[in-house]
Amino acid sequence: MSQDFAEMMNRLPGWVREMGITILSAGPDEVTCEWEVAEKHHQGYGIVHGGVHCGVIESLASIGAAIVARPRGQRVVGLENSTSFVRAVRSGKLHASARPVTRGRTTQVWEAWIRDEKEQLVAQGRVRLLCIGQEQPIG
């Protein structure tokens, strides 16, 4: 399932694809990705924008939480994203992984780490997600 789901996520339109992020694996215990830093990821000082790190962390957490929630007839929406920026990055390849802290019936919490090619921590975050029924409208 992990590889098939990752391939499906990579084909979907949206933010992940526009940012050039490739989902490498996606399962209920871990979701991973990688991307090459480009100018589109930079803020005004020429380093990766914190919003990119937040977006990657939330995307991985959401994918993992959705994989857990889907068999229960649920989908997930993000409630909270707390991301710490540890190291500035200007170029190179980054990779990230997210793992569950808790996969509860009504909420899930996932943690994620972004690292550079030297395995140095670049950003770390935690996302809390709400599990809602498929019939419940979002927004």
Q: Does residue 58 have an active-site annotation?
A: yes
Alpha-helix residue ranges (DSSP H) falling in the chain: 2-11, 15-18, 50-69
User: In which order are the strands placed within the sheet that holds 22-26?
Assistant: 22-26, 31-36, 93-103, 107-115, 121-133, 74-85
Rounded to a whole number of angstroms, the CA Rg of the chain reads: 15
Among residues 7, 30, 58, 135, the one annotated as catalytic is 58
Q: Which residues are catalytic?
A: 58
